[in-house]
């Protein structure tokens, strides 16, 4: 096989690369200064399957390297996301979980941000979360959690112990799982006859339209569309019955999947499929053009940062996000141009960014004295961050955004 091809994890078709970010580190491993030798690197390249249009990475990072006891991402870290998940839980409770003794399973429940609301309502639930640290945090809140990877075997055990699930929910997790075939077989084993499998993930349509290429990193193995999800679901005896666009994380879609024939798809499914066809989202040409824009934005960003540096300005980064690894390492931004990145997550402070080894400082240390510019790597939390760091801009500091293109605000 050509080095720029792989075999589709879902249908066995030919996946052809459309962009190569080169050698990249694990995005969510922030080494302490004495751990820099432990970093793991892989080739981050992304392609589309000729047969089923599923966009996927060409190389898979072993799951135990990514989802460890010390997995640093805590879902509750953002006020907006806490509200989003509370709303999600309330709408599930009012709808799919309103029957008699309902049972809700969440895949990738992290620190329990969603399930805590389900727990408070007294509804039977189970989180499936392989990262031990966040699983413990949610257990401390009284949430039921199994420290495991969701896959066929886990799902069968859960079904044996607890009976069928009315809702299997996942946010920002299904796209992390290359072995999606095993997930679907697991859902088949666990889901009630008229139950729903609901998951939400970054949407390829928004990623291409907004040029948010930094959503591509080790953990995001798949970039879904309604078409690719529908095709995958059908292979395993399911049907895509609803889609909902969500504004979070730069644009996501919430997919609702039911057993074939169990429910009638809403008009929204057909509408999104039509929109995708019109926009050429399943065409290689669209993705190749996206690749050209990725290059241009990264070339532009590094050139502007060099220029600001040469003119004597002090520029830092803000938000030690997983997605920052892609842009920082691809554009080759190092500590000489960006001495620090600031972040509110206690576990990240004092550590280094992966690959570039830019030191992470707390958000409270942003100032005063404040830097001249801060590159916003957590652009998906801009509204919240802008309020938190109001003093920075009040004192003349400026935010630099790089998606959809370089701009100073």
Chain positions contacting ligand TMP, by CB under 6 A:
77-78, 319-322, 343-345, 348, 363, 378, 380-381, 384-385, 388
How many degrees, rounded to 5, is the angle at CA 170 between CA 116 and CA 49?
165
Q: What is the largest CA-CA distance in the chain?
A: 67
Strands (E), 247-396: 252-259, 315-318, 341-343, 360-362, 373-376
| Minimum distance from residue 385 beta carbon to ligand SAH (Å) | 17
The option from Zn ion, ligand SAH, ligand TMP, none interacting with 49 (CB < 5 to 8 A, set by class) reads: Zn ion
Residue numbers 172-201 binding ligand SAH by CB under 6 A:
172-173, 176-177
The option from Zn ion, ligand TMP, ligand SAH, none interacting with 67 (CB < 5 to 8 A, set by class) reads: ligand SAH
Strand partners, 278: none
Nearest-angstrom CA–CA distance, 48 and 58: 9
Per-residue contact string for residues 58-97; x = within reach of ligand SAH by CB under 6 A: ---------x---x-x-x----------------------
The option from ligand TMP, ligand SAH, Zn ion, none interacting with 125 (CB < 5 to 8 A, set by class) reads: none
Residue numbers 12-41 binding Zn ion by CB under 5 A:
13
| Minimum distance from residue 70 beta carbon to ligand SAH (Å) | 11
- Among residues 17, 116, 129, 389, which is the contact residue for ligand SAH, using CB under 6 A? 129
User: Between residues 158 and 192, which has the closer beta carbon with respect to ligand SAH?
Assistant: 158
User: Between residues 13 and 367, which has the closer beta carbon with respect to Zn ion?
Assistant: 13
373 in Cβ contact with 408 (< 8 Å): yes
In 141-264, where does DSSP find H-type helix?
152-162, 180-190, 204-210, 226-235
Stretch of residues binding ligand SAH (CB under 6 A), selected from 89-97, 127-135, 210-218, 269-277: 127-135
Residues 6+ apart with CB under 8 A from 374: 315, 316, 317, 318, 342, 366, 389, 392, 397, 398, 399, 400
The option from ligand SAH, ligand TMP, Zn ion, none interacting with 11 (CB < 5 to 8 A, set by class) reads: Zn ion
Q: With binding defined as CB under 6 A, does residue 134 bind ligand SAH? A: yes
Nearest-angstrom CA–CA distance, 329 and 207: 19
| Minimum distance from residue 316 beta carbon to ligand TMP (Å) | 12
Question: In this structure, are strands 360-362 and 341-343 parallel, antiparallel, or unpaired?
Answer: parallel
The option from ligand SAH, Zn ion, ligand TMP, none interacting with 322 (CB < 5 to 8 A, set by class) reads: ligand TMP
DSSP string, 88-115: HHHHHHHTTT-SSS-EEEEET-TTSTTH
User: Between residues 196 and 322, which has the closer beta carbon with respect to ligand TMP?
Assistant: 322
Structure tokens at 375: 């590159």
Residue numbers 336-395 binding ligand SAH by CB under 6 A:
none
Scan for tokens 């005063």, then name that residue. Answer: 368
The option from Zn ion, ligand SAH, ligand TMP, none interacting with 361 (CB < 5 to 8 A, set by class) reads: none
How many degrees, rounded to 5, is the angle at CA 301 between CA 327 and CA 390?
85
Structure tokens at 20: 């190569």
Stretch of residues binding Zn ion (CB under 5 A), selected from 18-26, 45-53, 179-187, 385-393: 45-53
Q: How many residues bind ligand SAH (CB under 6 A)?
A: 19
User: Between residues 103 and 150, which has the closer beta carbon with respect to ligand SAH?
Assistant: 150
Nearest-angstrom CA–CA distance, 189 and 168: 12
DSSP state of 253: E
Q: With binding defined as CB under 5 A, does residue 51 bind Zn ion? A: yes
Scan for tokens 């495991």, then name that residue. Answer: 148
The option from ligand TMP, ligand SAH, Zn ion, none interacting with 107 (CB < 5 to 8 A, set by class) reads: ligand SAH
How many degrees, rounded to 5, is the angle at CA 263 between CA 259 and CA 267?
125
Stretch of residues binding ligand SAH (CB under 6 A), selected from 4-12, 130-138, 299-307, 401-409: 130-138
Stretch of residues binding ligand SAH (CB under 6 A), selected from 106-114, 189-197, 358-366, 387-395: 106-114
The option from Zn ion, ligand SAH, ligand TMP, none interacting with 129 (CB < 5 to 8 A, set by class) reads: ligand SAH
How many degrees, rounded to 5, is the angle at CA 365 between CA 30 and CA 390?
110
Least Cα distance to 280 among 209, 230, 221, 215 occurs for 209
Binding site for ligand SAH (CB under 6 A): 67, 71, 73, 75, 107-108, 110, 128-131, 134, 149-150, 171-173, 176-177
């Amino acid at each position: 096989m050509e080095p720029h091809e792989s075999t589709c994890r879902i249908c066995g078709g030919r996946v052809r690369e459309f962009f190569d970010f080169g050698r990249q580190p694990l995005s969510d491993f922030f080494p302490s200064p004495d751990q820099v030798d432990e970093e793991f690197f892989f080739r981050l390249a992304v392609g589309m399957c000729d047969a089923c249009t599923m966009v996927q990475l060409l190389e898979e990072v072993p799951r135990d390297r990514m989802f460890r006891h010390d997995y640093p991402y805590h879902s509750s870290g953002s006020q907006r996301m806490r509200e989003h998940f509370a709303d999600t839980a309330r709408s599930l409770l009012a709808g799919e979980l309103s029957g008699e003794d309902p049972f809700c399973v969440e895949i990738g429940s992290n620190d329990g941000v969603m399930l805590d609301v389900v727990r408070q309502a007294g509804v039977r639930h189970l989180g499936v979360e392989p990262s031990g640290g966040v699983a413990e945090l949610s257990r401390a809140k009284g949430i039921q959690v199994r420290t495991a990877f969701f896959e066929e075997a886990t799902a069968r055990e859960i079904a044996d112990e607890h009976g069928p699930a009315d809702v299997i929910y996942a946010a920002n997790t299904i796209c992390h799982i290359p072995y999606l075939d095993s997930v679907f077989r697991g859902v088949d084993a666990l889901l009630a006859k008229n139950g729903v499998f609901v998951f939400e993930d970054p949407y390829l349509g928004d990623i291409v339209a907004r040029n948010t290429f930094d959503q591509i990193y080790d953990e995001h193995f798949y970039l879904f569309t309604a078409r690719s999800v529908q095709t995958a679901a059908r292979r395993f005896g399911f049907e895509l019955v609803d889609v909902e666009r969500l504004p979070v994380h730069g644009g996501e879609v919430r997919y609702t999947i039911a057993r074939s024939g169990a429910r009638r798809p809403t008009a929204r499914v057909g509408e999104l499929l039509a929109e995708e066809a019109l926009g050429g989202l399943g065409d290689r040409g669209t993705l190749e053009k996206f690749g050209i824009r990725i290059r241009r934005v990264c070339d532009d960003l590094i050139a502007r940062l060099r220029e600001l540096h040469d003119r004597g300005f002090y520029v830092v980064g803000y938000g030690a996000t997983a997605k920052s690894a892609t842009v920082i390492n691809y554009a080759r931004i190092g500590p000489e141009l960006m001495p620090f990145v600031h972040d509110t997550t206690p576990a990240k402070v004092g550590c280094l960014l992966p690959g570039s080894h830019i030191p992470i400082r707390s958000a409270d240390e942003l100032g005063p004295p404040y830097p001249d510019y801060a590159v916003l790597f957590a652009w998906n939390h801009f509204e919240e961050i802008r309020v938190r760091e109001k003093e920075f801009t009040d004192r003349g500091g400026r935010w630099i955004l790089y998606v959809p293109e370089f701009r100073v605000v």
